[in-house]
Amino acid sequence: MNDRMIISLPISPYDKMSVGRMTTPILGESISKSMNCKFIMAINVLNSYKNKNYSGFINLMNNYNINPNQYWIDNQHVKEMMNQIYILNEMGYICEKEKKIVRCTCGKVEISKDNISTINLKDSLFGIKNDEYYCKFCKSKCVIGNEKVLVFDSKLVDKTNMKFYPDFINKDKTTFDKTVGNNDVVISRNRSTGIIINYKGHKYNLDIDFLWQNYLSLFKEKERIVMCGNHQLYQLYMVGMLEQCFNNNNNTIYLATPYLEQSKDEYALNNRAMSLKVFSLLILKWAKKENTFDKSLLNYINSMNIDKKQMLYDIIIEKIDTTENIIDDLKYVLTKKYNFQNANKELKRRRRNV
Ligand SMILES: [Zn+2]
């Protein structure tokens, strides 16, 4: 193995198969095999108050024969990540400011007025109706007040070295550079988060997301692929900015999987580990932001006998001759190796020669 790793953003554990969700673990494992590097599956349980159990997730991975080199569980590294927060503070990225904070009565909405334009309203509990702010959870109208908060100053981060793949994500990067990347990110919370940071004698509750978003700084490998699903681009961007604070000499690629349309047909892959892997690797077209569910590919894979399917899978994940350039290697693997025409052609050639 080399000085490379592929690591997931910390994933919230789930325990049922779905093609969309399992794309990240399957791709992570396969890319690590193709590129002969370590695969670390990071799991996020810090955000969950009630369910810190991830055994169902690990069982699911075992059932589908997905075997990372390491499971990295965020709540086992709180102390190390807190250290990094204090280092960030010493480096001058964190400071105290008075900000206009928008908040609801239940506490779920707590945002800086400056950041409202950066919020994805579809995925947020925060809403705007008739020019008024409200909470979708408690339905109350939000109030705005001046408060002292801790902020992370994104403007100080050098973002030139942040490389994203697929290429269309660089459009999102440009947008983020102008919004979150050009603003203060409020990182303290009024409610108790269980994580206290002492800032010049004043105690603040630290936002849990901001804590785990520092996790990359705990790893030694110099060349990294950090991957996530397509709905986590904001988190990926934050993780990227924080990595740049600690070390912008690392050669890191931030990879987000394209969107794959959901389909009832995916249940035909239930309990079919090999079919699910082959299907997930071949279905995605990396030049497209949205991919349709290709039922004929599914039927074709399901119709293969197990030996043929195994042979196809082995061809797809065959180790490549890696180069000095991790992004070229990754592009080659995703577009040339995980490619139905190429893999199927090679399968036919080898079966003729048996
Ligand atoms: Zn609320």
Query: What pLDDT shows up at residue 250?
Result: 86
CA of 205 to the centre of ligand 1 (A): 18
Tell whether pTM > 0.85. Answer: yes
Strand residues in 124-201 grouped as ranges (E)? 126-129, 132-135, 143-153, 163-165, 184-186, 188-189, 196-199
Segments making up each domain of the chain, as ranges: 4-76+258-352, 78-212
Query: What pLDDT shows up at residue 1?
Result: 60
H or E segment to which residue 292 belongs: none
Mean pLDDT of the region 1-16: 91
CA of 121 to the centre of ligand 1 (A): 15
CA of 286 to the centre of ligand 1 (A): 39
Strand residues in 47-91 grouped as ranges (E)? 70-73
Whether residue 115 is predicted with pLDDT greater than 70 in this model: the reply is yes
CA of 108 to the centre of ligand 1 (A): 5
The C-alpha atoms of residue 277 and residue 266 are separated, in whole angstroms, by 12
Looking at domain 78-212, does it have CATH number 1.10.3470?
A: no
Residue identified by tokens 């931030």 is 254
CA of 176 to the centre of ligand 1 (A): 26
The C-alpha atoms of residue 101 and residue 112 are separated, in whole angstroms, by 5
Mean pLDDT of the region 23-34: 97
Query: What pLDDT shows up at residue 116?
Result: 86
Q: What phi-psi label fits residue 271: left (phi over 0), alpha (psi between -120 and 50 degrees) or beta?
A: left
Whole-number mean pLDDT of the chain?
93
Mean pLDDT of the region 318-332: 96
**Three-point CA angle 193, 195, 196, nearest 5°:** 110
Query: What pLDDT shows up at residue 74?
Result: 96
pLDDT confidence tier of residue 53, bands split at 50, 70 and 90 = confident
Whether residue 119 is predicted with pLDDT greater than 90 in this model: the reply is no
CA of 184 to the centre of ligand 1 (A): 23
pLDDT confidence tier of residue 139, bands split at 50, 70 and 90 = very high
For the stretch 61-76, pLDDT in tens is 999 999 999 999 999 9
CA of 104 to the centre of ligand 1 (A): 5
CA of 52 to the centre of ligand 1 (A): 24
What percentage of the chain carries pLDDT values higher than 90?
84
CA of 244 to the centre of ligand 1 (A): 34
CA of 126 to the centre of ligand 1 (A): 8
CA of 103 to the centre of ligand 1 (A): 8
**Three-point CA angle 282, 316, 275, nearest 5°:** 55
For the stretch 74-103, pLDDT in tens is 999 999 999 999 999 999 999 999 999 999
How many of the other CB atoms lie within 10 Å of CB of 95? 14
The C-alpha atoms of residue 291 and residue 287 are separated, in whole angstroms, by 10
Please give the DSSP secondary-structure letter assigned to residue 323.
-
